[in-house]
Structure 1
Amino acid sequence: MPARENSNPRKADDLDHFVAQRVRRQRDAVDMTQDQLAQALGISFQQLQKYERGVNRISASRLFQISCVLGVGPEYFFEGVDPSQYGLSSKSDRGEGAQSSILSLIAQNPDATDLVVAFAAIKSPKQRQKAIDLVKLLAD
């Protein structure tokens, strides 16, 4: 994959196109239509098409929602990307080994993914805080 070069930070670049292809591949793997995924994310079918074609960049929060709905960890969308192309090193390059992240645990639990997707759809910060308080109360 070519190095990340983008004079316009809002325009999708090679890495964004790579992520878009991974979204489409995983959606196909779980036998979900574009319309079904768009509905689960609360976006239009056309917006999802733009994401999957790499026309529009996918924000971190949206990518997290997509990973939850498609049942993979967010890291799935970056598998095969060489950090050295961007002047970076990965944890494994530093000898630290791969660690299980909380995002992977959430993505593996269908109930947790439903909760995260529903939570992400709450627009009001006050209502999000109330949802957090309710879940904490139920957990006690």
Structure 2
Amino acid sequence: MLSVNSKKNRGRPNSVDAHVGRRIRERRQWQNMTQATLGDAIGVTFQQVQKYEKGMNRVGASRLQQISKALKVQPSYFFEGTIDEIWSDGQSAANHADIPPEVIEFAASEEGIELIRAFSRVDDNNVRGRLVKLIKSLGTSGDA
């Protein structure tokens, strides 16, 4: 029999599972890897990868080890930035508290990743400064 809390949260991912899933998605996209390619590398379907990324299916320890190998990171990478880690490390909490959620969301998006990659290839600091000014001027909110 399910407890009241279990019934209330049915269908909603656990916050840690959702965080691990987001980290899998971010890393997979950063590696320019499709869900199907990751699925093939770890022996599951792309639909299963989708479920992992949404936090709907919990990633077991052995599967997480396979994913970390396929995405070329340590398994601990997927837990970085969790609420527990932020609260246990004062410096980490301060660093994360200053980053608005929309910035983190943008950085994890396809456009964000493309922009970050392109920007990081610009070596000239003057050009980088001009690019920032250009992007600010293109913004519609006017609060650049």
Partner of 1:32: 33
* Pair 84,47 (structure 1): closer, same or farther in 2 beyond 3 Å: closer
One-letter code of the match for 1:18?
A: H
User: How far did residue 34 of structure 1 move?
Assistant: 0.5
2:73 aligns to what? 72
Q: Which residue of 2 aligns with 1:13?
A: 14
Aligned residue for 1:26, secondary structure, equals helix
Which stretches in structure 2 are left out of the alignment for 5+ residues? 90-144
Partner letter of residue 68 of structure 2?
A: S
Partners of 2:70 and 2:85 lie apart in 1 by 30
Structure 1 segments of 4 or more deviating over 4 A?
none
User: What is the CA distance between 1:45 and its match in structure 2?
Assistant: 1.3
Q: CA RMSD in A?
A: 2.9
Q: Aligned pair in 2 of structure 1 residues 36, 13: CA closer, same or farther (>3 Å)? A: same
Amino acid at match of 1:60: A
Alignment-mate amino acid for residue 52 of structure 1: E
For residues 89 and 28 of structure 1, what CA distance do their matches in structure 2 show? Answer: 29
Equivalent pairs, count: 85
TM-score, L = length of structure 1 = 0.52
Distance 1:47 1:81, change over 3 A: same
Report the Cα offset of residue 74 of structure 1.
0.5
